[in-house]
Amino acid sequence: MTKITYIEHDGTEHVVDVKNGLSVMEGAIKNNIPGIDADCGGACACATCHVYVDAAWEDKTGDKSAMEESMLDFAENVEPNSRLSCQIKVSDALDGLVVRMPESQH
């Protein structure tokens, strides 16, 4: 289990334990955390699982694939630390990860 903090746009924090092997998106959905829609179910085809990775974790979450980069073009208010949370796999290395949700996924 890996501890992840999801912070809604209004500042509401949700600290949950997510099973390794799931994606950061799945961790949010399974714990009923609002702010991540994940319309495509994790296929990197909707960009409604957009999150901002906390600066301290950008290196550990790895690089975006070309497909993720191009899907992020469909997200709003994209920043350098924007990621699609379905493309970040949870592992022990991410214990303590902090992600923030955008104001809207559409």
Residues that bind ligand FES in the complex, under the rule CB under 6 A? 25, 38-40, 42-49, 71, 84, 86
Q: How far is CA 44 from the centre of its chain?
A: 12
Whichever of 11 and 62 has its CB closer to ligand FES, that residue is: 62
Residues contacting 33, CB < 8 A, separation 6+: 6, 8, 14, 16, 27
Q: How far is the CB of 3 from ligand FES (least distance, A)?
A: 21
> Residue written as tokens 């890996």?
2
Nearer Cβ to ligand FES, position 11 or 73? 73
CB of 86 to ligand FES, least distance (A): 3
d(CA 57, CA 74) in angstroms, rounded, equals 23
CB of residue 20 vs ligand FES: minimum separation in angstroms?
19
